[in-house]
Structure 1
Amino acid sequence: MDRLFDDIKYGFRNLRANTTFSFIAIVTLALGIGVTTAMFTLVNSVLLKPLPFPNSHELVHMTLENRKTGELSTNTRIGFVERMEDLEVPVKEIAYYAYDQVTLGKGDIQVPFTMLITSQNFLSMYGVKPALGRWYEERDINTQSIVISHDIWQNEFAGDPQILSRDIKLNNKEFTVLGVMPSNYSSTGFTSVDFWLPINELDRPVNIVARLKDGLDVNQAKIQSTAIERLLDELIGESDSVWEIKYTSVLDSMVGDSKQSLYLLLGSVFAVFMIAVLNVVNLTFAQYANRTQELAVRISVGASRKRLLKQLLTESALLCTIGGVVGLLLAAWSLEWIRDFMGDRLPRLHEIGLDQSAVLAALALISISAIATALIPAYSLVNPNKLTDAIKQAGRKMTGDKNSQKVRRLLVSSEVCVAVVLLVCAGLLMRSYFSLADQDTGFNAKNIVTGHIWLPDNFTPQPNRAGYWLNLVDALENKPGVTAVAATSTMPMGRTGIDYPVNYSYPGAPLVPKGEEPSANGRSITPGYFSLLEVPLIEGREFDYRDTKDSPNAVVINEYLANTIWPNGSAIGNTLSLPVWMGGDYTVVGVVGNVKHRGLRSVPTPEFFLPVTKRAYAGMTILVKSSMDAGAVKNQMFTTSVEMEATAPMILLETMEDLTAYSIVSEKLLLTVLGIFAGVALLLASIGVYGISDNMVTQRTNEIGIRMAIGARPNAIRRWIVIDTSKPVIIGALFGVVIAFISAQFLASVLFGVNALDPMTFASVPVVLMVVGIVATWLPARRATRIHPQQALHYE
């Protein structure tokens, strides 16, 4: 033990004696270990770690999938769920839920919070119990009872121990608190829920969550769902029998499209870590080349190789441990940045932190780094010929053996190779991102604020709903600074709304087999919707005061649907036949431009629009265009909605520009993080190139002096050094292009508007790296030619 402490003291002394080497190595290792630990923690928390519920692998979401288009819909009703429970189904328990928002009175101010309306068995199916009190039961459905989150209990009610005997006012109604949820509980992974309320609106669209029977997976459950699909045909109607049940694990539902991006980033960060380790190994080569004589002399006076090896291993372990500790601090900061950057756009963010798995991952990375850096002194100590040469050259500067030079050049080539791969991937993603961002959405999102409202049951009759929406639009139009207002059942780029395909027909339509009828997405809107969004009116008119509940049925269709049905003539005045439950036959009065409703990656689809007086939904989105600050507009919208109906406050208040940006937030995260990784890789590779160039100049100073003494010009010396030290860069770049060519194929599915083998990207990256490499080699070459020949000849 005493010897170990002596070795640690000796290691610290050597690290302090070589501050430049120690600083560069520690920073390099901290970068490599830090970003790798952070990314591993992110992937582990989001993708790999089981959900914090008993037998979480059995939990699935049940959605409706369109067989023809592959589109998913969660627009199911409670009645369907209740009838499904009586069938032979592959699940042992079914629950349902829907998001809503409530206001909590704080004096004269109403503050909005998120609420989850659920079935009474929702929490028990997850295997969770309230931390305080109880969950609601069947007897509580119509008793104004509620369960609150741990954060609400602590922040809004100061952790009142008597909370269960208190009444709280939500939406200006008194509610009795039944229980308090455990801290950090989240059943959905994204939005933090503040209140839970038993559902009592049978017509409300809900999300279905279920627990599979023992031994079944999602594929087996699908096979056993014929009874459910027959029920679907019965409830929806034969003409809409394109729908089938889809099972998705709750974890996969949470993760969604993030999985591929996160795994890609994890692979990229391991590449950065590899470059960092190679760089430190390269630095260690140079460091121990300068200590070879010291080690040889110590062995010649009786020190054992085993003893020296232990000291050097301890020194490497100290170096890597310090780098690892700094890296853990960097990882903690990186995770904080990711949480702030992503907000609620990445699931399970509240679970991300430097837990035991993260520390173990960091220890593994530290161990790998220590072993790699320790192999260099080990090689020196077990090579007697090298030590003998070192003793013979005592008193003169070591020039470094050829094998060491070859290994160092190989390390630099490897660094450059990996850097090229990362830079090519980052370049492709950058071009893809800007291609997405430049897409024409078909509308103008500037100065528009949106909000969503869900009306209570007393607005169930269609005329009541339509009247409310029109009155709300009129009320908002009279507010200061407001230039236009409209309402829609489904907003472009929105995260809420009713959007599902509806079968249609028209006079002269060809006969098609059952289940293959054409369909289009239908939306309900108020007058002025297209003008507000600046969607071009191609022919005909928009909806206006003429379109009432008693007027002839009128419909506006998009250009895609018009060209599909009537490619050789005008659509105006023609008949579009919809299902009876949507009103039957409609006359086309207008054709508008195509709009990207489902994100910037979406392609045009057939769409039709109905006036709100003909089809009014309980949930709709309000759009307000105003010259005022977005924050002030949101306050206006929320206040107006509460004044009109206290039980239906406006929720999800966001600017339309933010919603559009949200549609490519995953691409932005991928580009940002991979771009950082590529930048770090380029920096580390350039440090490696500079290091080998500087070491060459240092070790060959005598040769440089001789060349200059016999007449070699400085330019020739610089050119010789640059060419010689650029060879590993060129070799690494060539291999990197080949590997990037293969790696780019895996990016094809996430790229947009750019080929995975884009010639510009593949040509520009090696050029950039070569320029960086030339600069890194030119600086030491310039220093070499400034040494006077006489000084160089006396260098040793």
Structure 2
Amino acid sequence: FLSWSRTGQGEMIQGQLVSGNFFSLLGVKAAFGRTFFPEEDQTPGAHPVVILSYRFWRQRFSGSPELLGTPLTLNGQKFTVIGVAPEKFTSLLAGIAPDVWLPLVMAPQITGDSELLANRGSHWLFAVGRLKHGVGLLRARADADLLALQISQAHPDDHQKLGAAVFRATLVPGPYRGYVGAFTGLLMIVVALILAIAGVNAANFLLAQTVDRRREMVIRYALGANRARLMRQTLVESVLLALLSGAAGLVLAFWTVPLLLQLKPPTVPIRLDVPADYRVFGFTFLVSLLAGLLLGMVPAWRGTKLNLTQTLKDEGRSGGRGRARLSRFLVAGQIALCLTLLACGGLCLRSLHNAQSIDPGFETRQRLSATVDVQTLNYSKSQAKAVFSSWIERVRALPGVESVGLASHLPLETTSMGLAISIPGYEPPRGQDEIGIAVADVSSDYFKAMGIPVLKGREFTRQDSEGSQLVVIINEAMAERFWPGRDPTGLSFTIGDLASGQRYRIVGVVKTGRYQTLSENPQPFMYRSILQHYHPKATLIAHTSGSPLSLLAAVRRELQTLDPNLVLIQLSTLEQHLAFALFPARTTGILLGVFGLLALVLSVIGLSGVVTHSVSQRTHEIGIRMALGAQRQEILRLVMKQAMEITLAGWLLGLGFALGLTRFLSSLLYGIQPTDRLTFTAASLLLIVVAALASYIPARRATKVDPLVALRYE
């Protein structure tokens, strides 16, 4: 993140430090101006130049070409604008679209860390390369591993266990590709199931239509039309129906995509762009065309198996038992797919409820957080401490603020710190070289502001500052693991090895919380005093007596009163912060829940349509039964029995499908098994009850058939 000021008030934008050959390596040319020269990436601080993204240039400077050659102030440093990137170029990672690109050698000036480029132990860059002709990914990985080994041997003090991970340069980086692929793959499977359910409805409609037109087809066949020509007519109708449905789906997608993007929490700094380009139109057209051909083939084949004598004798009113069996089979499959989606949706919704019920270990109501990085303005350590102290006091003085704390980072953030510790008398388990403990640096009143109860000892105070005894507060899980059955307050351990590390005294024990994910098991965690460990980037937490939303603007204003160029990286309530951790569960639950209900509606329509058509085909039979004394309740049971037989067959088939598919959801579920009986029972009951209600309407209509009219119809 970079601080940029144009109107006297700071604003946070995203920047990326790149080498001089970054754009040329990717084959990217500037839309206006130029990209970096190789010499602009040689001498640190010598070439303060910047390239703007096309979107940033259009939105902030109205696309003015006169901007080239003018200065732009970033993190208090002046940079000369030399070019604008192409409109569609958003760098290498999907969703992470930088506003500006800067030469890599300008990192010390941007970050204020003069040792950033010289520190061999700092691993904050990733390399992008182009493979030689004939060289594969496996060879590249082997070469990278060899290079990492050579560096480790040449600099053993800085790189004891240096390794290399090589992936293909894709918009989704290698380490995350599996997660994204699993999620998108699951969505594609769900969408395919919805398409299959809708397709069954279309196939049954076309099948019923061809049966009703059998007399017409027989006459045309008798007049010389061959079977291929009759099939072609049905296929053309099927494809046209599918293409029209695909077009309607595109229109609906344009309306719903903005709603889907709203699922992204506002605290996530990712830009999601879903353009409607030729790929979307082409994919939709191909899927619609294939669906039309596949779904039309069955009705076309069945509807053109003609028996002239029998069809003319029946006058086209009966489609035969074969057609009825096929329709029932299709609807049973439809119900099976519906149960699968209902079970998946039910599991994800219950998982979301469980996730929302998980105690994160801190209070979220009436809390707000604000993060600032004074490093963006190259503050000195003393300046930064003065700003943080003044900011805390000014926010604490605001009406409605109960308590205020400061932390290096919040729980459930993507940012985390871990340190190796040594405990006298404790040996790590076999195969484990050291004890690694996650850590956060916090201020006095942090635990009060976060609502984290102190179980033993005390909180940090202002006396726990530089020059005083190094102190630490641990969580209950850490106390139970390393000092079971004892009160650890007053005891000491070393961060680092026992011989050369820093010794810390435990002054308190707090409640265990969730630090990385909501689904994690209780983990040891420790807190250090932020007054003893400087952080240029820190998060302020405030506990308010009323709604924290009403104080967000005031917190920002108090910071910019101290320095108008200081910019908040994030400003939100802790409830919004928690929403980020719930993002996967919420997205999966909402999408699968909606798809499950959509599948239920489509299946009900299909079942109702088949029962209605069956009743119309059996009008004569029903009339005879009623003429012979059958009661209306008997007719109702007759029709309902047929519908429930189809439903139960689909339910049995779907039970197997659902048990197989839901196992793939296990990594997305919180506090619930993928074979949860209650969820499967609820999904089954919902399906059966709704199917019975949908069948009751045509069944009741069958009881109102007039026997005289039915016999006259014959």
Contact in 2 for aligned 1:519/1:606 (Cα 8 Å): no
Amino acid at match of 2:617: Q
Counterpart check, 1:271 vs 2:193: yes
Distance 1:173 1:380, change over 3 A: closer
Distance 1:511 1:655, change over 3 A: closer
Contact in 2 for aligned 1:485/1:528 (Cα 8 Å): yes
What SS is found at the alignment partner of 1:176?
strand
Query: Counterparts of 1:105 and 1:566 in 2: how far apart (Å)?
Result: 55
User: Share of identical aligned residues, percent?
Assistant: 26
1:660: which partner in 2? Answer: 578
1:328-369 per-position Cα deviation (integer Å, ceiling 9, x unaligned): 22233343433343378697732x333333233222222223
1:102: which partner in 2? Answer: 3
Amino acid at match of 1:651: I
2:653: which partner in 1? Answer: 735
Contact in 1 for aligned 2:369/2:540 (Cα 8 Å): yes
1:437-456 per-position Cα deviation (integer Å, ceiling 9, x unaligned): 21110001223222222233
2:537: which partner in 1? Answer: 619
Amino acid at match of 1:563: E
Bigger Cα displacement from structure 2, 745-754 vs 369-378: 369-378
Bigger Cα displacement from structure 2, 426-435 vs 774-783: 426-435
1:25: which partner in 2? Answer: none
2:492: which partner in 1? Answer: 575
2:119: which partner in 1? Answer: none
Counterpart check, 1:355 vs 2:256: no
Amino acid at match of 2:100: F
Residue 690 of structure 1 and its aligned partner are, at CA, apart by 0.6
1:369: which partner in 2? Answer: 291
1:312 to 234, 240, 250: 234
Amino acid at match of 1:368: L
Contact in 1 for aligned 2:32/2:65 (Cα 8 Å): no
TM-score normalized by structure 2? Answer: 0.89
Contact in 2 for aligned 1:443/1:595 (Cα 8 Å): yes
Contact in 1 for aligned 2:76/2:377 (Cα 8 Å): no
2:124: which partner in 1? Answer: 207
User: Matches of residues 114-513 of structure 1 in structure 2 within 5 Å?
Assistant: 114-136=14-36, 137-138=40-41, 141=45, 144-170=48-74, 174-187=78-91, 188-197=93-102, 198-200=106-108, 201-203=113-115, 207-212=124-129, 214=132, 215=135, 216-217=137-138, 219-220=141-142, 223-224=145-146, 225-230=148-153, 234-235=157-158, 244-251=163-170, 252-253=172-173, 255=177, 257-342=179-264, 349-350=272-273, 352-380=274-302, 382-385=304-307, 387-394=308-315, 398-456=317-375, 465-495=384-414, 497=415, 499-510=416-427
Query: Counterparts of 1:606 and 1:261 in 2: how far apart (Å)?
Result: 30
What SS is found at the alignment partner of 2:283?
helix
TM-score normalized by structure 1? Answer: 0.80
Amino acid at match of 2:646: P
Residue 191 of structure 1 and its aligned partner are, at CA, apart by 3.4
1:580-638 per-position Cα deviation (integer Å, ceiling 9, x unaligned): 89971111110011121213122322221111221112222222333566555333333
Contact in 2 for aligned 1:102/1:115 (Cα 8 Å): no
Residue 665 of structure 1 and its aligned partner are, at CA, apart by 1.0
Query: Counterparts of 2:512 and 2:46 in 1: how far apart (Å)?
Result: 45
Contact in 2 for aligned 1:540/1:590 (Cα 8 Å): yes
Aligned residues: 686
Query: Counterparts of 2:704 and 2:125 in 1: how far apart (Å)?
Result: 76
What SS is found at the alignment partner of 2:610?
helix
What SS is found at the alignment partner of 1:620?
strand
Amino acid at match of 2:3: V
Distance 1:664 1:250, change over 3 A: farther
Distance 1:458 1:723, change over 3 A: closer
Amino acid at match of 2:245: G
Counterpart check, 1:555 vs 2:472: yes
What SS is found at the alignment partner of 2:158?
helix
1:231-251 per-position Cα deviation (integer Å, ceiling 9, x unaligned): 675127xxxx57754445553
What SS is found at the alignment partner of 1:787?
coil
Contact in 2 for aligned 1:255/1:346 (Cα 8 Å): no
Amino acid at match of 2:476: E
Residue 255 of structure 1 and its aligned partner are, at CA, apart by 4.6
Bigger Cα displacement from structure 2, 289-298 vs 369-378: 369-378
Bigger Cα displacement from structure 2, 148-157 vs 607-616: 148-157
For structure 1, the 5+ residue unaligned runs are: 1-99
Residue 555 of structure 1 and its aligned partner are, at CA, apart by 1.1
User: Matches of residues 709-788 of structure 1 in structure 2 within 5 Å?
Assistant: 709-788=627-706
Distance 1:297 1:518, change over 3 A: same
Alpha-carbon RMSD across the aligned residues, in angstroms, is 2.9
Amino acid at match of 1:388: T
Counterpart check, 1:593 vs 2:511: yes
Query: Counterparts of 1:117 and 1:625 in 2: how far apart (Å)?
Result: 37
Bigger Cα displacement from structure 2, 643-652 vs 714-723: 643-652
Query: Counterparts of 2:569 and 2:376 in 1: how far apart (Å)?
Result: 18
Query: Counterparts of 2:571 and 2:531 in 1: how far apart (Å)?
Result: 25
What SS is found at the alignment partner of 1:577?
strand
Amino acid at match of 1:190: G
For structure 2, the 5+ residue unaligned runs are: 117-121
Contact in 2 for aligned 1:463/1:613 (Cα 8 Å): no
1:633: which partner in 2? Answer: 551
Query: Counterparts of 2:683 and 2:429 in 1: how far apart (Å)?
Result: 53
Query: Counterparts of 2:621 and 2:64 in 1: how far apart (Å)?
Result: 81
Residue 733 of structure 1 and its aligned partner are, at CA, apart by 0.8
Residue 474 of structure 1 and its aligned partner are, at CA, apart by 1.9
